[in-house]
Structures are given as structure tokens and as C-alpha cells.
Amino acid sequence: MKRVNVIQPKALLKVIAIFLPLLFNVNGLASAASGQSSDVPKNSAAVVAGAAVSAPAAESAHGAEASEGEEKAGDVIMHHILDNNVFAFEPFGSVNLPKIVIGGFDISITKHVVMLWLVSALLLIVFSVVGGKYKNMTARNAPKGLANAMEALVEFIRLDVAKSNIGHGYEKHLPYLLTVFFFILFCNLLGLIPYGATATGNVNVTLTLSIFTFFVTQIAAFKAHGVKGYLQHLTAGTHWSLWIIMVPIEIIGQFTKPFALTIRLFANMTAGHIIILSLIFISFILKSYIVAAAVSVPFAIFIDLLELFVAFLQAFVFTMLSALFIGLATAHEGHEKPAAGVAHH
Amino acid sequence: MLTSGIILLAGSLLSPNPGLIFWTAITFVIVLLILKKIAWGPILTALEEREKGIQSSIDRAHKAKDESEAILRKNKELLAKADAESDRIIREGKDFAEKLRADISQKAQAEAQKMITSAKEEIEQEKRRALDVLRNEVADLAVRGAEKIIRTTLDADIQKRIVDSMIKDISTNRN
């Protein structure tokens, strides 16, 4: 107990000694910082001078932000969140990604495509290692290390997501659900590391993923009920006089489900990043170290940790809802009513 | 901040990008197919096998428990039976021993009685015989004593005189 009492004031004094000059010289340092950050635009300005395309324009906006403040902060944030053709490593320069146009379609490799590929590469590496371990494993050995960590997630998806929502015949959909879960999870997590971009924060990516869920759901429904059963499903088992209302509602319902998936994932991932960036930009806009130390950094750290949780949560929610929709589509009439009740919540 | 709102509403966040959709679809499908082959297959079969293994282990353990309980019950029954058997044997042995002891002691008593009576008879006989012998001995002794007495008192001169006198008597009487 005595030692703690001695050390604590000392440590506190040290911290104050470090921060005091900063706090007193707020303005001087702030201007120095703006001078530092204006180094970056100098570099990029040289690039911009030659190219003068839309993407580097955003770069110059980043540089101008220090002097112009509020108006441009929004641009920088959007630049970080939106997709573009430049993979920027801020103080070290940037990589221009190739632009590919085939048959009138622009299929350029953008920042988010690169992230998707990074995620895919990571997934393939991790799961080739894990899968290799399982190939050499008998029922008597226990997994350890990475295999054990992944098994916990796989087992969770298998039992708590797939089996409990789809029920009979859930094994068929497991590869899709597992892939979608880990794909989204890795996308979300890679978006949290510096220089990363959140591919799942792009509506096109989430739309594609939910279209897959849509197709999987529809095919599962057709397989489970046949064409006649599928059409009967659209009437929701009501009297024929209500069909004129029910059928359009059910058809719209088929599309709202993937739409909700799209928006939910995209909005969650985007919102988190906007909040973090906004918190950090508060200190730049107010040009104050006190705000940076007291507000921006702690809150940004807090939101970042929250994002870490959200990364898992949203991957789980997407998978969970996919499984739920598949379960709803394949459910037989006996299960229809309680399952429908869940869907409305 | 106002700008960001305008950009959002202007739709750059929600703007469609066919290229990205294309790449996402291609990437996802390829990843799905590869992962299905290299990871989900082995992992899921391993999990199922383990699940089955655990289930069968549990079943086997339950069966083994039931079996062991049955064996235990049987053992207890056997033990109880053996206990009862041993009790019975001990009781029978005790009874037999008791009877045997009673028999033997009775027999021994009878024997002893008989021996006592025969001994008494013998003693009586012996006593009688001893008395006879004693009596003969005493008679002999008396005779021998008398003989000794007689022999010592019998003097040849006296006897000669007695005999001479007797002969004289006789001769005088004849004459």
C-alpha cells in the first residue's frame, strides 16, 4: 500500500510535466501542427498539379482543411469513407489503382475492391491453416490455437445461428452462412486498422451480399415447397379475397428483407467511421490540444472499441437474419405462424 | 458538417457502382467455393464426427454406468446371499457343535459312571481278595510263629524223656 502511494504522485507529476507545456503553448503548437500538416498537401499538391483528377482533389481538400476548418472536414470524412481509385498511405504517399473499363462497364480496381481481396486473402490463409489442421485431426484430438478460436465461431454459427433458425436441412446452407459471416467480420475488422477501408461500409458491397442471401432464400423456398407451395406461400394462407392485398405485400416483403440487410450493415459500418472521424476532426476544427486530449482521443477510442464490438455484432446480425430468412422461406405451414411473429419484430 | 450532409443526400454514399458489385460478387463466390472446399468441409465433418463421438462416448458411459450398477447390485445380492449362507452355516455348525458337545459330555458322564462303578467293583473284589490273601498270610504267619514257638520250646532231652516215659507208660499199661 505504501509503495503505491509514493509512485502515484510521481507518475502524475510526470504526466503533468509532459502535458503542461502543450497546454500553455496551445496556440503556438497548433499553428506548428497546421504547418506540419500542410507538408502533406505540398507533396500531394505536386501530384495534383500533374493529374488534376477528382480523387487527388480530395487530397488537397485534406491539406486545406487545417486552414479552412469546418467546411472541408466533411469532405475529408467522406473521402475516407467513400470508395476511390487511390489507396492512400497518408504521410508516405499513395498508390493509384488501375482503371479498367470493359464493354462500357467500369470495373476499375478501387480501394474497396483491394480491401475485399485483402479480406479474401486473409480468409483463405486463415482457413487453409485451420482446415489443414482439421484434416489431420481425429475425433479424439482437441483443436488448439487458431483452430480452436475459429472453431468457437464456426460452432456458434453452426448451432446458434443455422441450426436454431433453419432447423431441418441446415447443413446445406452452412457454407454460405459461414462464408458470409467471416467475410463480413474480416471486412469490418480490416476497416478498423489504420490505412484500411471498410468495404462493408460501401452500399454496393452490402447490396451484393444481401442479393446472395436473397437468391439463397428464394432457391431454398422453391426447393422446400415447389412452385405451387411457393405461390401458396405468397398468399400467406389467407382467404382468396384478400389475395389482392396479401400477394403484393408478400412480394414486397421478399425484397424488403435483403434491402434491410443492405442498409443495416452499410449504415452501421459507415456511421461508426463517421463518428470516429468527426470526433477526431473536432480537435482540428477547434485547433485545441485540450479538446484533443479531453474529448477527441478518449471518445474516439471509446467509439473504436464500440466499433470492434459492432464489427462482430453486424457480421452476426447479417448471418443471423440470412439464416432466419432461409428458415422462414423453408418453414412448413405448421411453423409459419410463430416464425412470422419473429420476422415482424 | 453541412457539406457531409449534402454529400450524403446527393447520394455519393448510396451511389451505385457496378464495378464494385461485380468484383464483390466474383470475389465472394470464389472465396465461398474455395473455403467450402478447403475449410468448411473438413471443419464441419470434424465437428460432426466429434459431436457423434461425444454422443457415443456419453451413451457408452451411461451404458457402462448402468452395467456397473447392475453388477454392483448383483454383487450386493450375492454378498447378502453369501452372508446369509455363512450365517446359516455358522448357526448349523454351532447347533451341531452344541449337540455334539452335549452328546459327548453325556456319553463321557455315562462312561465315567460306568468306570466308577466298575472300579468300585474291582476295588471291592481286590479288597476281598486282599483280605483272603491277608487271612492266608496271617494263618501262615500264625502257623509259622506257632511252629517257631513250638520248635524253640521243643527240647530233645525233654522230648526223649517224654517219649521214654510215654513208652514206659505204654509198656506198663500192656503189661
Cα B54 to Cα A89, A144, A240, B40, B60: the distances in Å are: 51, 18, 51, 20, 10
Is A14 in the same domain as A79?
yes
Average pLDDT over every residue of B103-117: 91
Contact with chain B for residue A275, Cβ under 8 A? no
* Record: contact B17-A82, CB cut-off 8 A: no
Say if CB B16 and CB A204 are below 8 A apart: yes
The residue of A79, A81, A105, A107 whose CB has the most chain B CBs within 10 angstroms, and thus the best one to mutate to test that interface, is A107
Residues A313-322: pLDDT tens digits?
999 999 999 9
Which of A 205-234 lie inside 8 A of B, CB atoms? Answer: 205, 207-209, 211-212
ipTM for the assembly: 0.71
Q: Looking at the domain assignment, is residue A101 inside a domain?
A: no
Give domain status of residue B55, yes or no.
Answer: yes
Last residue of a domain, one of A66, A96, A126: A96
Same domain, A74 and A117: no
The total number of structural domains in chain A stands at 2
Are A191 and A309 in the same domain? yes
Q: Are residues A23 and A144 in the same domain?
A: no
Is A65 contained in some domain?
yes
Whether A51 is covered by a domain: the verdict is yes
Residue B174 within a domain: no
Q: Is A83 in CB contact (< 8 Å) with chain B? A: yes
Domain coverage including residue A29: 2-96
User: Do both A156 and A298 map to the same domain?
Assistant: yes
Asked whether residue A102 is assigned to any structural domain, the reply reads no
Which residues does residue A101 pair with via DSSP β-bridges, in sequence order? A106
CB–CB contacts below 8 A, A to B = 150
Question: Do A32 and A55 fall within a single domain?
Answer: yes
Residue A75 distance to chain B (closest CA, Å): 6
- Residue B59 resides in a domain: yes
Per-residue confidence (pLDDT) for residue A71, from 0 to 100 = 54
B117, part of any domain: yes
CB contact under 8 A, B23 and A124: no
For chain B, give the number of residues: 175
Residues A85 and A141 in one domain: no
**In terms of domains, do A65 and A140 share one?**
no
Q: Is A128 on the interface with B (CB under 8 A)?
A: yes
| Strands A105-106 vs A101-102: parallel, antiparallel or unpaired | antiparallel
Q: Find chain B residues with C-beta within 8 A of A158's C-beta.
A: 44, 47
Give the pLDDT confidence of B124-154 residue by residue, as tens digits. Answer: 998 898 888 888 888 888 888 888 887 777 7
**pLDDT tens, position by position, A204-230:** 889 999 999 999 888 888 888 888 888
Classify residue A159: in a domain, yes or no.
yes
Residue A105 lies in a domain: no
Q: What are the residues facing A94 on neighbouring strands?
A: A88
Where does a domain end: A96, A125, A150? A96
Is the residue at B12 inside a domain?
no
DSSP readout, A202-242? SHHHHHHHHHHHHHHHHHHHHHHHHHHHHHHHHHTT--GGG
Query: Is B142 inside a domain boundary?
Result: yes
pLDDT at residue B61 above 90? yes
Q: Looking at the domain assignment, is residue B5 inside a domain?
A: no
Domain count for chain B: 1
Domain final residue, candidates A44, A72, A96:
A96
Give dist(CA B44, CA A323) in Å, integer.
17
Do A155 and A6 share a structural domain? no
Is B13 close to A78, i.e. CB distance below 8 A? yes
Report if residue A10 sits inside a domain: yes
Nearest Cα residue in chain A from B32: A179
Range of the domain at B80: 22-168
Helix or strand (DSSP H, E) at B37: none
Q: Is the same domain home to A75 and A214? A: no
Check residues A269 and A240 and name the one with the higher pLDDT. Answer: A269
Residue B7 lies in a domain: no
What's CA A272's distance to the chain center, in Å? 9
R_g over Cα of chain B: 69
Residue A326 has pLDDT above 80, yes or no: yes
